[in-house]
Structure 1
Amino acid sequence: MQKPNILVVDDEKDICMALNILLTKEGYSVKEAYNGEQALERIRQENFDIVMTDIKMEKLDGFEVLKQAQQISPETSVIMMTAFASVGSAVEAMRAGASDYITKPFINDEIRLTIRRILQGRELQMENQILRQELSQRPAAFKHIIGSSEPMQKVFSVMEKVIPSKSNILITGESGTGKGLVAQAIHESGPRKDKPFISINCGAIPENLLESELFGHKKGAFTSANEDKKGLVTMAHTGTLFLDEIGELPPSLQVKLLHVIQTKELTPVGDTRVITVDVRVIAATNADLMQRVKEGRFREDLFYRLNVIEIRMPSLRERRDDVQVIMKHYLKIFAEEAGKNIKDIDYEAMQALLAYDWPGNIRELRNTIERATVLTDGEIVTIHDLPDKFRTLDVEGVSTSSLRQALDTFERDYIKRSLAENKGNKETTAGKLGIDLATLYRKLKKLRIEA
């Protein structure tokens, strides 16, 4: 693995040397430049992950290095180095696009942590770019299925393989995991995309009406059959038939469906005509069909006819890495629909949302975000915009709960109280907290505090 490449820029050679020794010991590749012109020349010739530059230098100062470095190599992160007395310049530099700043005299641990944090951020950014590239290469119909976690990568991989085939598919998973979206995406990405996609929920229609809905009927077949009716299977001819909640299909209709799959023929209720159909069947269930087979509630031969290819949809509990991005996705959609300028979800609310197990999966998450969007009065969704169950949630087990997280929570609350006491005045707040203004800005950004 290639070492991260760092350029240290300072007109004091002793400082360059000291930083070189420190960072080399940390496993980084380090280069030195002793003025701004030399630094820019190196940046033109070589790719650097991080540039650490002093602000005050003769001829070409750190601000100009920052400005030109962003033009030459936009992906390079720039850290400004400044004497404690000139932290005001550091605030200005961060507004101009610097990733962070370090005050002199240096604290070695602070340098290590700052660089580690920036490199981790760059790594995440690179992963996101790769993911976006992968997503751009996927069929357009996949865009409605949000997720980049390992379980979802497996789902996408299987979907891509089954698209061109004619094989029947069984999509399994808990209620609300997006089984219908997957079925539609497969249809819209495949050779039948210009043909009908017909969907029916087998558990939502009474048994005495379901046969007619699926297979159609002839006029006079029963009391209310006032005219011939084409069934959904026939309507799906040359396209895709999506049978949701297939486990709820009554035994008598299981036989008839099996016959259609095997022979590609059906006979409407009350009719003697045989109709030939060409359909790809995609079924979905949140039930354990194999267990129902063992119990005699579902035909084994039908199960194997449907389950040529299984796609198992993971629950949100199994793909927690996707929860935050799904929330942001729906927040953007519902904010636009409501005509509101909602920018984000605050830390406390986010921690509660991430701690929740989401038994209703994406459907429940979507409804929760829609509710919060309607109720919030500001630009940030807070814990008070969420249902009561989130306000009483124990968030201690969220992600990697640690001492650092506990300290962040305390620090966030302390700064928010201080800001409120000083009526939002940042300079006064910084003075009361005993920190400089640049440090306060950095903490506001890091801890996601609106001020």
Structure 2
Amino acid sequence: MSQQTVLVIDDERDIRELLTITLGRMDLQVHAVGTVAEARRALDERSYDLCFTDMRLPDGNGQEVIELIADEHPDTPVAMITAYGNVDAAVNALKAGAFDFVSKPVDIQMLRRLVRTALKLAEEKRAGGNDAPDAAASGSRLIGDSLTMQQVRVTIGKLARNQAPVYIAGESGVGKELVARLIHEQGPRTSGPFVPVNCGAIPSELMESEFFGHRKGSFTGAGADKEGLFQAANGGTLFLDEVAELPLHMQVKLLRAIQEKAVRPIGAREEIPVDVRILSATHKNLAALVEQGLFRQDLFYRINVIELRVPPLRERRGDVPLLSAFILKQLAAKNGGDEGRLQADARQALEAYDFPGNVRELENILERAMAMCDGDSITATDLMLPQRAPRMSGEPAPTSPSPAGMATAPAAAASTPDGGLDDYISNLERTAIIKALEESRYNKTAAARKLGITFRALRYKLKKLGID
């Protein structure tokens, strides 16, 4: 097998020598040049397995080199060498097609990990050929034949091939975590850990310890050293779900950890290098939160290098039968019973329904229907879909239907106190609580925060209202 080759482009002799020695010890052949012109000639003369380029060069900039390689040598991963803390350059490089970036002064251990990951990626690119295998690989779990879902699968395959941070946008329940897992599994980090974290579920006072870890004795209750989420995800992917829930003070610390690729546990004197790919998601409009001053603009640009939108179920109604069949098959395997069958009226009802809770709501509806139906035959009545009251001419359209868990409550109960004021208020509370639980993925601490009440108050109301 021929020796793998690396092209290094940097006008600083010390950096060229450092990379040449370090990469040479990894049994790699290194060709080092100092200008864009020399880099162009080198790329014309032969192919390389990996490329490093400085941002500032005497006759141009590294961005030109990245764009050249992306256009003419798409199978060659390229990493940008940036000055300390230069986030804008790193983001622009990733958007232009760079695989990753390295900050000066160069951390040798991190450099070696980056090289191993990049070379693995290059091998997979050459072996994989085109996008089709990637799309097929995600098809067994990301269900749907609609054009929008086909595009999502192809995009996942492309995003898996680099290390750029990806922001996954979409409503609650569309499957954002599944998309993140597929990006991880189809990329060169698949053998590393995938660490998902719900940012809205961590109490504010514990966030720094949870993300970065702590040293024994650093605060009351710290009886032993603890590894943080960044360290747990080292060599793999950290998925920040509901990233919009991060408080501003934590956004600052997160930004530093991402751009410097290092964390400092509470009570530690030195930072620890971490090699983590960041994927993030939220059902909220992050750009609007930036405008309102509720989310830092610099962090937004750092995590939103590439945005992938996952469509809501109402935009791909044709996928509902496929999804339903898949879910019913899973339920049968889970519960050990017969596989449920949708009758014609049930299929029509599902295809006409808007699904404000998306795929998660569909799963909830079908699980309930299997519990309520006779045998394995599911009718529209068994689905217990929320009913909309008929509208008078000129009346405005209703808001989103009640959550699936409210299907047994009459639709008019929340609009008139005919049943008594106590019942009326209870129904309003029940609707608000169930909505908050669904939006927080049934995390009670996060739901209580959304409702503006204490966890203990929420627990009392759940018991009082009979909500399981």
TM class, shorter-chain normalised? 0.5 to 0.7
Distance 1:377 1:344, change over 3 A: same
Which amino acid in the other structure matches residue 230 of structure 1? E
SS in 1 for 2:370: helix
Q: Distance in 1 between matches of 2:285 and 2:149?
A: 21
Partner of 1:300: 297
Partner of 1:147: 144
Q: Give unmatched runs, 5+ long, in structure 1.
A: 1-133, 395-451
Choose which of 310, 315, 325 in structure 1 pairs with 2:322.
325
Partner of 2:175: 178
Q: Structure 1 residue 375: deviation in Å?
A: 2.3
Q: Structure 1 residue 139: deviation in Å?
A: 5.2
2:212–2:264: 8 Å Cα contact kept in structure 1? yes
Q: Distance in 2 between matches of 1:285 and 1:172?
A: 6
Q: Distance in 1 between matches of 2:264 and 2:139?
A: 36
Partner of 1:191: 188
Give 1 or 2 for the bigger CA radius of gyration.
1
Choose which of 266, 271, 278 in structure 1 pairs with 2:268.
271
Which amino acid in the other structure matches residue 219 of structure 1? K
2:193–2:233: 8 Å Cα contact kept in structure 1? yes
TM-score, structure 2 as length reference? 0.53
Which amino acid in the other structure matches residue 208 of structure 1? E
Which amino acid in the other structure matches residue 351 of structure 1? Q
Q: Structure 1 residue 213: deviation in Å?
A: 0.6
Distance 1:393 1:191, change over 3 A: farther
Choose which of 251, 256, 261 in structure 1 pairs with 2:253.
256
Decide which moves more: 326-335 or 340-349.
340-349
Partner of 1:168: 165
1:343–1:380: 8 Å Cα contact kept in structure 2? yes
Q: Distance in 2 between matches of 1:153 and 1:140?
A: 12
Distance 1:261 1:391, change over 3 A: closer
Distance 1:218 1:139, change over 3 A: farther
Q: Structure 1 residue 361: deviation in Å?
A: 0.4
Choose which of 331, 343, 346 in structure 2 pairs with 1:334.
331
Q: Distance in 1 between matches of 2:150 and 2:193?
A: 28
Q: Structure 1 residue 142: deviation in Å?
A: 4.4
Partner of 1:387: 384
Distance 1:197 1:137, change over 3 A: closer
Output aligned runs, 1:58-207, within 5 Å: 138=135, 140-207=137-204
**1:371 aligned to 2:379?**
no
Partner of 2:82: none
Q: Structure 1 residue 392: deviation in Å?
A: 7.9
1:203-242 per-residue CA deviation (whole Å, 9 max, x = no partner) reads 0111001111111111122211111111000111110000
Q: Distance in 2 between matches of 1:393 and 1:348?
A: 20
Which amino acid in the other structure matches residue 189 of structure 1? Q
SS in 1 for 2:280: strand
Which amino acid in the other structure matches residue 206 of structure 1? P
1:253-293 per-residue CA deviation (whole Å, 9 max, x = no partner) reads 11111111111111111221210011000000111111111
Q: Distance in 1 between matches of 2:134 and 2:266?
A: 46
SS in 2 for 1:203: helix
Distance 1:136 1:261, change over 3 A: closer
Q: Distance in 1 between matches of 2:132 and 2:361?
A: 25
Partner of 1:38: none
Which amino acid in the other structure matches residue 161 of structure 2? P
Partner of 2:341: 344
Partner of 1:283: 280
Which amino acid in the other structure matches residue 185 of structure 1? L
1:39-95 per-residue CA deviation (whole Å, 9 max, x = no partner) reads xxxxxxxxxxxxxxxxxxxxxxxxxxxxxxxxxxxxxxxxxxxxxxxxxxxxxxxxx
Which amino acid in the other structure matches residue 266 of structure 2? V
Partner of 1:88: none
What is the RMSD computed on CA atoms of the aligned residues? 2.0
Q: Structure 1 residue 320: deviation in Å?
A: 0.9
Distance 1:361 1:258, change over 3 A: same
Q: Structure 1 residue 141: deviation in Å?
A: 4.6
Q: Distance in 2 between matches of 1:135 and 1:181?
A: 19
Q: When the two structures are aligned, how many residues end up with a matched partner?
A: 261
Q: Distance in 1 between matches of 2:387 and 2:326?
A: 20
Q: Distance in 1 between matches of 2:389 and 2:377?
A: 20
Q: Structure 1 residue 341: deviation in Å?
A: 2.6
Q: Distance in 1 between matches of 2:134 and 2:149?
A: 16
Q: Distance in 2 between matches of 1:198 and 1:163?
A: 16
SS in 1 for 2:168: strand
Q: Distance in 2 between matches of 1:137 and 1:229?
A: 37
Identical pairs, percent: 48
Choose which of 297, 306, 310 in structure 1 pairs with 2:307.
310
Distance 1:135 1:143, change over 3 A: farther
Distance 1:139 1:220, change over 3 A: farther
Q: Structure 1 residue 350: deviation in Å?
A: 1.6
Which amino acid in the other structure matches residue 261 of structure 2? K
2:211–2:229: 8 Å Cα contact kept in structure 1? yes
